[in-house]
Structure 1
């Protein structure tokens, strides 16, 4: 599976000093607090190397939509309370609390990431990677957010994507492009058609 994280050199780099860790985590917290909405194109790669593309729409608190490319019968929508995974090919719907998902760090602006996140050392000073992991809930998996330092972006950081590792060791990588921050997003963007009942929407 393709890995969006840093080269092997980053894995053996000396741990970042505590002061740098604190400053970088504060920058990420600032970015997450400054971003109230976002749209972007995404490329998703799963553990088997399968690549899907689509459009990401995000609005805080808790609203997100992964609209996959034409012909892919999948949809992921967050309505502020739960994430819903819809597979229209088999008329299946699954829901789970947003706080339990790897996306929780992006969708909940009230979370203090310094309590459960750490900076991943990088040989490239223009890149900042942060791994979020809750040791009290290992079943939530690990999420590594990757940012490019960019003075014009919210909090001075441009979210490039993330890698999510679930409790079974399955890694999914999301790469973003054409990011637009704090643009108007209608709540209608997070409605969806329930395949189990014609005409019902979430």
Structure 2
């Protein structure tokens, strides 16, 4: 069953050392007077010259430079502070070819992805949930309550379920504007029309037209964090003009999602 009601849903689809205590307050030794008479004090003879200063390197092998004493740092002197290493910011705006190459490299660098998302629809409604992807072709948007919608792709079809309305709409994966998440090998320049590239600080924005989506052309904007090397957001304007944005966080490309997340029951009675 195909309805235009589900189109907006498709668009969603980081010790200092101290002196020992008591060192400065040591008590004087208690010395008792001795019963033996003190030895007479002998005065140093006068007029005897002091011996000459010891030449540097005396007693060392010939040709060896004397070792210079190194100054001892004060106990109260602060240790040097290490300067944190920051990842270099991208210099200038990327060209269209450079931007496409950067995004293609990112999408083709992982086979699985999961994380949290926040979706804002054209009506301003805000929903959150969990996203699971296994390429090629498998995806699940799991919305937090009170939302009753599920979006599942099993490698062939995309099912949009609404438990409250007891409906399940099926679409071909090729009809969705989320092919950049699901294809085994992504080439944005081949699979879409790149209409613009801008860079603001660390955020690279690439605007695309996808003419193969259901109902006509969808306009997609991908916002990519160059410093973190992660996709941060996509914004989709579907053929009817409805805009949906999806922001991502806590992305994990190492863990493998549970395969039960991608099962569509085509005979399910809702």
Q: How would you bin the TM-score normalised by the shorter chain?
A: 0.7 to 0.9
Shift in Å at residue 122 of structure 1? 2.9
Give the corresponding residue for 1:185: 257
Q: Which ranges in structure 2 are unaligned for 5 or more consecutive residues?
A: 1-91
Shift of 1:23: 1.3
1:195 Cα deviation from its structure 2 partner: 8.9
* Aligned: 1:139 with 2:216: yes
Distance 1:170 1:176 in 2: 20
Of 157, 162, 172 in structure 2, the residue corresponding to residue 87 of structure 1 is 162
Instruction: Quote how far apart the aligned CAs of 1:140 are.
Output: 4.2
The equivalent of 2:111 in structure 1 is: 36
Mapping of residues 52-63 of structure 1, within 5 Å: 52-63=127-138
The counterpart of 1:118, out of the listed 194, 207, 217, is 194
Q: Relative to total residues, which structure has the larger strand share, 1 or 2? A: 1
Following the alignment from structure 2 to structure 1, what is the Cα–Cα distance between the partners of residues 159 and 183? 16
State the superposition RMSD in angstroms. Answer: 2.4
Structure 2-normalised TM-score? 0.60
Residue 204 of structure 2 aligns with which residue?
128
User: C-alpha separation between the residues in 1 aligned to 2:183 and 2:263?
Assistant: 19
CA distance in 1, matches of 2:151, 2:237: 17
Alpha-carbon separation, structure 2, partners of 1:74 and 1:110: 29
Inter-CA distance 136–79: structure 2 relative to 1 (3 Å threshold): closer
Equivalent position to 2:237, from 165, 170, 182: 165
Q: How does 1:187-202 map to 2 (within 5 A)?
A: 187-191=259-263, 196-197=268-269
Q: Relative contact order: is structure 1 or structure 2 higher (C-alpha 8 Å, sep ≥ 6)?
A: 1
- 1:20 offset after TM fit, Å? 1.5
The residue that corresponds to 2:32 in the other structure is none
Distance 1:22 1:187 in 2: 36
Separation in 2 of the partners of 1:98 and 1:123?
30
Select the structure that is richer in helix. Answer: 1
Higher-Rg structure is 2
Q: What is the count of residue pairs matched by the alignment?
A: 177
Distance 1:54 1:193, change over 3 A: farther
Provide closer, same or farther for how the CA distance between residues 39 and 135 of structure 1 changes in structure 2, counting only shifts above 3 A.
Answer: closer
